[in-house]
Structure 1
Amino acid sequence: MTESTSPRELDDSCGCKAGRVATKYGLSGLDDDLVAYWTGTGEEQYSTRELATHVNQRVLEAALEDAGVAVRDGEVENTYRLLTDDDVTSGTRIQTRNELERDGVPIDDVESDFISHQTVYNHLTNCLDASLEEPDDEERLDRSEEKLGALQNRTAAVTEDTIAQLDRNDVIDINEFDVLVSVTVTCTECQQQYTVRDLLEERGCDCSREY
C-alpha cells in the first residue's frame, strides 16, 4: 500500500487547478497516474473525460475520509454519479448534497474543486509535457459530448432558475419541479431521430451504415 502524503508534503509543481487540487487533497502520485492512463494503449488508455472523473472521485473520497465518513466499495463512485450525472433529478441531487453536509462534508467546496475534461488536458500538455500523436476518435467524441452536455446543462440551469424566480414572485404557481433538456437530431434522408448522446454512441444514422 502506498504511504499517504499530506497536502503540506506534496510538491505543488504547477499553479493550475489540477495541481492545486492535488495538493489540497493530498492526491499523491496523481500526475504519474494521469500520464500513464492517458498515454496507455488499448483498454489501458483513458480519455481526458474519464481522467477528470477519476480525479474528482479521488477528491470526493478524500473529503469523505477527512470528514470521518466510512465508505463501502463502490459508494464513492455512486455518490459522485448522484452529484454529477445528467440523468439524476435535481431532487435526488439536492438530497445527496444535504446528506453529505449533515455528515460534515463541505460539499460546496468539494464541488468547486472538481475539475473538467479541459483542465485535465491542459494539465497533461502544459504542466506535465505529456502528448499524444493525435486525438483518436474516442477522444474527439468525448470532447464533443462534454461540450454539448455542458450547453444542455446550462440551458437546464437557466430554465430552472428562471422558473423558480417567477414562482417566488407569484408570477406563476408550481410545486417542486425538475427541468430536463433534450436535443434531438433528425437525419433528413432516413428521417430517423436521435438524441445527441445516442447519435455519438452509434456514430451515425441508419442510412449511413452499409449492410
Structure 2
Amino acid sequence: MTERKSEEAEITCDCKLGRIAKKYDLLALDKALVEYWTDDGDEQRSTRELATYVNHRILETALTNANVPRKEGEVENTYRLLTSDDITSGTRIETKKHLQRDGVPVEDVESDFVSHQTVYNHLTKCLDASVETPSDEERLERSAEKLGALQNRTAVVTADTVDQLDRKGILEIGEFNVNVSVTVTCEDCFQEYTIRDLLDQQSCDCKRLGASER
C-alpha cells in the first residue's frame, strides 16, 4: 500500500471535521491532531489551538487551489482578519472582497471553519483519544492566559477606536497608550485584587481572617 493510500485510510469518519479533511485533502490530519492533543510536553495544544490549526490548513488549501501567491505568515494573518474580534468590520469586508477577487470562495471557506467543540468531539468520539485531567496549576495557568488574551483584545479594540476617532477629527489626542486592568473585590473581606494576584494567591483574605478569629 502506498503512503498516500495509507494516509487516506485514516480519514474514515463522517463528522464535520472528517468531511472537511476529505474535502480539502488534509492527509494525516487525524494523526497530527491526536499527537498535538495528547502530547505531555511543550507541543501539547488545546482544542481551541487545534481548531485554529485546522482552519489555517483549510484557508491555506483554499488559497493554493486559487493559485494565490502568499508570503510567510500570510495565511495566519488572513485568518486573523477574517475571524478575530479585534478586527473592525470594514477591514474584514475589505479582506473578503480581496479574496473574492482572487477567486477564493470565501463564504464556503468560512462555513468550513471548525470550532474547538467540533475538534473535541472528533478527537473523543471518532478517534477515541483522551488526555489526563489537568492539574490545578495547569488550570490556573490556562485561565490566566485566557484572561490575559481578553485584556489584550480589549486594549486593541479601544486603541483602534480612539485612533479612528482621532483621524476623523472627532476627538483630539496626542500619542497615547491603552492599559486594561481587571480587579476582583471580595464582598466578604472587602479586599481588592488584580486577577493575576488572585490566581497566584488562589484565595482572598477570608480564609486568613477566619483563622485569626478562631
For this structure pair, what is the TM-score category when the shorter chain's length is used for normalisation? 0.5 to 0.7
**Structure 1 stretch 81-90 or stretch 104-113: which is displaced more?**
81-90
The SS at the match of 1:42 is: coil
2:183–2:192 Cα contact (<8 Å) kept = no
Amino acid of the structure 2 residue aligned with 1:72: K
1:61 corresponding residue in structure 2: 60
Query: Which runs of 5 or more residues in structure 1 are unaligned?
Result: 150-181, 194-198
Could you say if the C-alpha distance between residues 80 and 43 of structure 1 is closer, same or farther in structure 2, counting changes exceeding 3 Å? same
Amino acid of the structure 2 residue aligned with 1:204: L
Could you say if the C-alpha distance between residues 98 and 45 of structure 1 is closer, same or farther in structure 2, counting changes exceeding 3 Å? same
Residue 187 of structure 1 and its aligned partner are, at CA, apart by: 2.3
| Deviation readout 1:165-196 (Å, 9 max, x if unpaired) | xxxxxxxxxxxxxxxxx9x7742434457xxx
Aligned residue-pair number: 162
TM-score w.r.t. the length of structure 1 is 0.66
2:198 corresponding residue in structure 1: 204
Counterpart Cα distance in 2 of 1:4 and 1:77: 27
Equivalent positions of 1:78-93 (< 5 A) are 78-93=77-92
1:11–1:23 Cα contact (<8 Å) kept = no
The answer on 1:187 being equivalent to 2:181 is no
2:30 corresponding residue in structure 1: 31
| Deviation readout 1:85-138 (Å, 9 max, x if unpaired) | 111111111111111111111111100000000110100010011111224535
Amino acid of the structure 2 residue aligned with 1:187: T
Give me the CA root mean square deviation: 3.3
Counterpart Cα distance in 2 of 1:16 and 1:140: 32
The SS at the match of 1:204 is: helix
Counterpart Cα distance in 1 of 2:119 and 2:74: 24
Query: Which runs of 5 or more residues in structure 2 are unaligned?
Result: 151-179, 205-214
1:25–1:62 Cα contact (<8 Å) kept = yes
2:163 corresponding residue in structure 1: none
1:10–1:28 Cα contact (<8 Å) kept = no
Q: Following TM superposition, where does structure 1 have runs of at least 4 consecutive aligned residues deviating by more than 2 angstroms?
A: 9-12, 135-142, 184-193, 202-210
Larger radius of gyration: 2
TM-score w.r.t. the length of structure 2 is 0.65
Equivalent positions of 1:39-118 (< 5 A) are 39-118=38-117
Counterpart Cα distance in 1 of 2:192 and 2:201: 9
Could you say if the C-alpha distance between residues 105 and 138 of structure 1 is closer, same or farther in structure 2, counting changes exceeding 3 Å? farther
Counterpart Cα distance in 1 of 2:119 and 2:77: 22
Identity of aligned residues (%): 54
1:192–1:206 Cα contact (<8 Å) kept = no
Counterpart Cα distance in 2 of 1:76 and 1:4: 25
1:127 corresponding residue in structure 2: 126
Counterpart Cα distance in 2 of 1:110 and 1:139: 35
